Each structure stands twice: as C-alpha cells, then as structure tokens.
Amino acid sequence: MQEAEDRRPERVADRPHLLGRGELDGVLEVVVRDRGIDRHDRIRLASWFVRDIWIIRPEREQTMAEVVLYHHAQGLTEGVRAFADELRQAGHTVHLPDMYEGKTFDTLDEGLDYARQTGFGKVNERGIAAVEGLGDALVYAGFSLGGMPAQQLAQTRPGAKGALLFHSCVPVSEFGEAWPEGVPVQVHGMDADPFFTEEDGDLASARALVASTDQAELFLYPGKEHLFTDASLPAYDKDATTLLMTRVLSFLEPIR
C-alpha cells in the first residue's frame, strides 16, 4: 500500500494481500474499477479477484480550531451554551469557563450587581485561570463581560490563534502597546447598543483597534440590544446572530 501525497489517488494493483490488520486504517475512500463499493471510513477487502484499486488517504488528521468562550454578565446561560454547541457542530472544540461558579441571572442588572459584589477583577481572574492546563494554540472569545479575559489572553498569552469579541472591546493599551502580530480579531456589536456605543467606550476602542492593524475587523448590526446573540434572553436577535455566526465560522475555518 502506498500513501498518496496531497490527496491524489495512487493505484495499487494486484494486491490480494490487503487483508493485513490495520493496513487500511484511516482510508477515506476506496474506488474499485467496475465494482461498486460504498464510501467508508474503514473498509476490509476480502476479494481475490479485485485487480485495480485506488486508495485515497488523508495527508494528516484534520483538526479544527480550539476556542475558549467566556460568558456575559448574566452567567453561563442556555443561550451561551447553545452558541458554543453551534461551534461544536461545525467541528470546533469549545471550552466554556464558568466565571460565576454556577450562578446565572435573569436580568443584566442583577448579573452586573453580582460581578460588582464579587469584584470585576476577581471574576476576570477566574476567567484567566480557566485556561491553565490548556494548550497555547487557542482562540479566545467572549460576550460583553467575557470579552475582558478573552482580549487579555489574546494580547498576552503566547500562541494565541485569534480573538472574537462580542458586544465589547477595551483599549489595546489595557494589555500592551499594540495588538499582537499574527493574531486575527473580530469585534461584533449593535450600532445603537448604549453599552457598546457610549462615548469613548467599546465602539471607539474597536475602531481604534481596526485602525491600528490589518488583522482586525469590526462588524456592526442594526439595533439597540446588548446581548443579542443569546437565544435564551429577550434581547436575542435571530437574524443578526445568524449573520454573526456565519462570519465567526468563516473566521475560524482556516485556523488549525
């Protein structure tokens, strides 16, 4: 058996001994001339009269992006979990740190009150600590409050593969002199969200980030809702979230 390079099939002729255990592990496709064999992940050939066999093997295992996704101020809600599940369905690995230690809140004000009482710094520390033991090649993503640890890690933890900042963006100067080279970033928010668009706030920081590097993109959606990506909240905007998810999956697709 020969291993095909750059996924071009190579012919294996007159090989009745393709019965050895493990020889066909990882075979993606077998095409037998004038014989009908379905596509399988693995297949064992037991026919001595098969003469012309084309085998396609993968060059290497396909790996997708590994994402750390931080929840917003209302906690690790069902909507946040659903967003993570959609990324997983696309083949990505997603970690969901719980910076609120199991607590969720019905309103944004209640969630912010908890963060204040606990200490925003303490909440952020929990988020930073959550990546201990994980590899370096991570995409850091966060919703609103969760954008803080996501942005900090993207700017300061070596090996970052990218950043996805939803509903928030702080000045790059919070964590360094400039956005790190080789780390792509997207910022998403609504164009009339009072939390995102307040004077000298997140939108201004996002625009400054985009102006400072060709690795950054800013996407604005029509509307005034803050946590519009959370399907479990009244603020959810399905159309905007569908478009956002399309952009996020496009962003993640080339990351390995």
Structure tokens given for 217: 């993109």
pLDDT of residue 38: 40
CATH class of 66-252: alpha beta
Structure tokens given for 45: 């050939």
Q: Is the pLDDT of residue 31 over 80?
A: no
Angstrom CA distances, 25 to 14, 42, 214, 223, 228, stand at 20, 6, 43, 52, 45
Three-state SS for 12? strand
pLDDT of residue 256: 83
Q: What is the pLDDT of residues 110-139, one digit of tens each?
A: 999 999 999 999 999 999 999 999 999 999
pLDDT of residue 40: 38
Q: Is the pLDDT of residue 231 over 50?
A: yes
Q: What is the pLDDT of residues 135-193, one digit of tens each?
A: 999 999 999 999 999 999 999 999 999 999 999 999 999 999 999 999 999 999 999 99
Global pTM? 0.76
Structure tokens given for 150: 């996501």
Domain ranges of the chain: 1-62, 66-252
pLDDT of residue 8: 39
Give me the mean pLDDT over the 55-80 stretch.
80
